Amino acid sequence: MQASIVKTTVFTILADYFMLGLIMTFCIWLRSLLGAEINYELYLNLFACLLLVVPLYTVFGLYPPILVYAAEAVRLLSQATTSLFLVIFAITFFLKSGAEYSRLTLLFAWLLSLLIMPVWRGAVKRYFSRYAWWGNKLILCGGREWLNKAVAHLCYNSNLGLKPCGVVILDENGASEADQSREISVKMLGNSERTISLPVLQLESMPDYAHSFKSPYALIDLQALSSADSAYMGRLSCHFKKTFFVFPFLTSLNCWTGLTDLGGYFVLETRQKLLDIRRQYMKRVIDLLLTFLGAIVFISLTAVIAVLIKWEDGGPVFFAHRRIGKGGKEIRVLKFRTMLPNAEEVLAQKLAENPDLAKEWAENHKLKNDPRITGVGRWLRKTSLDELPQVWNVLKGELSFVGPRPIVNAEIEKYGDDAFDLYKRVLPGLTGYWQISGRSSTTYKQRVQLDSYYIRNWSVWLDIYIIACTPRALLRTGDAC
């Protein structure tokens, strides 16, 4: 096993122990602060239960923390953490000492762990994945264009824990090219760019290279392989601890796709969770729960913002914008007014005077420096508080807290038939995958791709992950416009 994967796993285990121990300590301290008599010696026995973290988290696939889909990581962490606390409850019961422990303390520790552990794990991975020792080495095999995209994606999403260490470049006939060196220009999200240099291998030399790195992983583009190479891949995969096969021609698949057996043949099985009525009800319950839990905050902020808007220019506080909802039905989405009362006249005049501005509007249907926005409106947009009144649309069932960004009729053509067909299958949302993935630093095409990705891979766990990431995205106000 690679030293890097051992270090990554050990470090993650220590990070998990640290946070779970901190949460337990905090909850015990808080309970004593509220007046309860705490036998600290007794509670020290509970910390021994944390030794179960490694076996439980391993069973749930959390060690090593490599290539775990974000929403799946939230689900697995929630299940593993819940199992840990169920074991703690069971131990205190069978030892007949349950009455001596504060049930409220244990319950709060469990709930706090459910909230904090996914965020903590994500922060640890984001920070330490930049170091060379984090993750597992990866050899990629495919065509030049695909390799550039794959390496760019892995370098940008270094928290996945897969570090490219070599490539096999295949030509149009599926044969490996004989380049001695290769520089790959990596285009990052947000238009940043850097160049990395990777050794180029021959297909036949992959086993020797794999052994030199002590069982790295392999990522192989099946579309680029010839029929002879495809047969060779079965033998080649024996040299790698894990081999991932990419199917670029099957773009309609989602994260809920797996293999099943049909009379000796491997068959791809994909599940569409959008059609599961139980999960749809659960999504609606989460929307209503968040609405009622945040009611006091929503009402207070609305009152303050309404006063600021009225004070600035005396115009109306709210603005109802026509958008396309689920099923293609038109809905009126509430927002705080952020533009001048004569916004349309100002826009028409500015677009006529400035061709570059007109081009930007035609491409993205929004402007980076919009001349129509008021002073208060600019601040509201930076913080996304202009969308706060849409909580009313959530309550009515016209929007969800998480979903694709609501679009207008003029944007249907830019979405295209396939993407728009996906868009109509769900409720638009206040936040979404696009909002936590770059917001205005992404192009319109990338936004459509992110919305389509969300819909194809939708699950309640993905919604929870997006909600958890939204505050961090809002703090990066430079991405908003």
Q: Write down all domains in the chain, each with its CATH number in brackets.
A: 3-128 (no CATH), 136-249 (3.40.50.720), 277-338+373-479 (no CATH)
What are the tens digits of pLDDT across the range 417-456? 888 888 888 899 998 888 887 665 667 888 888 888 888 8
How much is the pLDDT for 226? 64
CA-angle at 474, arms to 470 and 478, nearest 5°: 140
- Total H helices, total E strands in the chain: 18, 12
pTM of the predicted model, to two decimals?
A: 0.74
Q: What's the whole-number average pLDDT of the chain?
A: 80
DSSP label of 195: E
CA-angle at 237, arms to 236 and 241, nearest 5°: 135
How far lies 244's CA from each of 167, 217, 309, in Å? Answer: 14, 8, 54
Range 34-40 contact pairs with CB under 8 angstroms and sequence separation of 24 or more: 36/102, 36/105, 38/102, 39/100
What are the tens digits of pLDDT across the range 80-90? 999 999 988 88
Strand (E) or helix (H) holding 83: helix 70-94
Nearest to residue 317, comparing CAs of 292, 293, 341, 351? 341
How far lies 44's CA from each of 50, 104, 162, in Å? Answer: 11, 17, 38
What are the tens digits of pLDDT across the range 294-346? 888 899 999 999 999 888 888 888 988 899 999 999 999 999 988 877 767 77
348, two tokens:
């028409």
DSSP label of 193: E
Task: Give the mean model confidence (pLDDT) for residues 168-189.
Answer: 59
What are the tens digits of pLDDT across the range 273-289? 777 788 888 899 999 99
Q: How far apart are alpha carbons 436 and 472 in whole angstroms? A: 8
Q: How far apart are alpha carbons 195 and 96 in whole angstroms? A: 62
Look-up: residue for tokens 């409720």?
427
